[in-house]
Amino acid sequence: MQAEVIVVGGGMVGATLAALLGEAGIAVQVLDARPGPVDRQAGTGRPALRVSAVTEVSRRLFVGLGAWPAMQARRVTPYTGMHVWEQQGSGEIRFDAEQAGVATLGHIVENEVILAALEERLERLPTVEMRYGCRVESLGAWQSEMRQLTLNNGETLSAPLIVAADGARSRLRELAGITADAHDTGHHALVTTVRLERPHGGVARQVFLPEGPLAFLPLTLDDDPHHCSIVWSTSPQHVERLRSLTPDALGAEMATAFDHRLGQVEVIDETASFPLAQRHASRYVMPGLALIGDAAHSIHPLAGQGVNLGLMDAAVLAEELVSARSRGASLGDERILSRYARRRRGDNAAMLTMMDGFRLLFGSANPMLTLARNLGLAGVDRLTPLKRVLIRQAIGERGHLPRRCR
């Protein structure tokens, strides 16, 4: 099969793009470095450590692809409320789905569950070929309306368009000579799964601590609403100390940091950690090449928007490519790709700036800033119209949405 589009990176964002293009009959090859597909038993037993907060807009995209029922059949946890507060003060804010006239604010879904459902969808699309164990060694120039790449086994592939969906440390971005504005946030994220003394009540909670934010994201295991996925963003030294604790000591420290709002905390899984850096590529496209997801931008997880921004990249790029193909245009034409870049770069840049501002604001110990933070949270909590606007933002309804997400 001669591919019209080669997607490098078969994670959640790359797989979503491939499914959207495959549904339109576009021939797609997906190249992934993993040795094979994700375990089809994902979503059973103990939850995976990495989860995503899937917005309502992203859920609509998965519903349209026919992948959402497969996620629901495994494990998804809806949340109808959000509660954010600062430990060093009295300011807090609560959001409720009912206030915005929606059924849910979003769903917490294990990354492996999302990927398993998407891979099953790709297997049913005759124009999509998924290839595992593939690493890109070199990238050729755009010539005769084709791009060429060479794999680690010496094989050469070509297509009018190659899409980099290969993560924050994108090899394709590097090979293309596209720079990225990057800075270390000073945080690492510690992730694990816990069991709570009190039920989570379908509320996603986050407390801002002097070292960084601690999030308790609701999980429902076998109809038991006493579990949460933990994302604790803090200094590398603090993460190292936390990971050295016994499960009982770590649970006790989490409960204290969380003001015991959910009672005692029992750590029921191993911990993992990873550094948090924020990056934004200097450009998203060039002839025959487009960047999506973390290859184009990576963001601090404190608002849970990372994967949702990438999914919107995939939806917008697919919309532009399907439209171009119907007109007989080359899918690698930079004029076509620039439309995608214009539609997505502004929204992504605004979200990156906002999250960096939150990180710096809540990371400061300045007493005046502490007072301002508390007054700001309390003020917003009293302004129902403003809260409705923020909720619409949180569920992903920003700007001109692609048709598949409306």
Structural domain boundaries in the chain: 5-75+111-182+277-365
pLDDT score at 168: 94
pLDDT score at 373: 46
Give me the mean pLDDT over the 376-404 stretch.
64
Contacts of 240 (CB under 8 A, 6+ apart): none
Predicted confidence (pLDDT) at residue 314 exceeds the cutoff of 50? yes
Name the band, by pLDDT with cuts 50, 70 and 90, for residue 90: low
Q: How far apart are the first and last CA of the chain?
A: 33
Rounded to two decimals, the pTM is 0.93
- Asked if 276 and 189 count as a contact pair (C-beta separation under 8 A), the reply is yes
| Yes or no: domain 5-75+111-182+277-365 corresponds to CATH 3.40.50.720 | no
Give me the mean pLDDT over the 296-300 stretch.
88
pLDDT score at 387: 52
pLDDT score at 287: 98
Cα-based distances in Å from 222 to 27, 46, 105, 214: 40, 10, 22, 25
Question: CA-to-CA distance for 215 and 208, rounded, in angstroms?
Answer: 9
pLDDT score at 86: 82
pLDDT score at 391: 64
pLDDT score at 186: 85
Give me the percent of the chain exceeding a pLDDT of 90: 73
Task: Express each pLDDT in 267-290 by its tens digit.
Answer: 999 999 999 888 999 999 999 999
What is the average pLDDT score of the chain?
A: 89
Residues of the chain by 3-state class (helix, strand, coil), percent to 5: 40, 30, 30
- Asked if 65 and 19 count as a contact pair (C-beta separation under 8 A), the reply is yes
397: region left, alpha or beta (phi > 0 left; psi from -120 to 50 alpha): beta
Question: CA-to-CA distance for 43 and 218, rounded, in angstroms?
Answer: 15
Task: Express each pLDDT in 235-260 by its tens digit.
Answer: 999 999 999 999 999 999 999 999 99
Contacts of 90 (CB under 8 A, 6+ apart): 374, 378
Query: Among 244, 194, 234, which residue's Cα sits nearest to residue 47?
Result: 194
- Asked if 31 and 151 count as a contact pair (C-beta separation under 8 A), the reply is yes
Question: CA-to-CA distance for 149 and 160, rounded, in angstroms?
Answer: 11
pLDDT score at 381: 52
- Asked if 5 and 321 count as a contact pair (C-beta separation under 8 A), the reply is yes
Predicted confidence (pLDDT) at residue 383 exceeds the cutoff of 60? no
Cα-based distances in Å from 261 to 84, 208, 227, 313, 377: 12, 14, 14, 37, 18
Question: CA-to-CA distance for 38 and 45, rounded, in angstroms?
Answer: 15
Query: Among 290, 336, 289, 308, which residue's Cα sits nearest to residue 16?
Result: 308
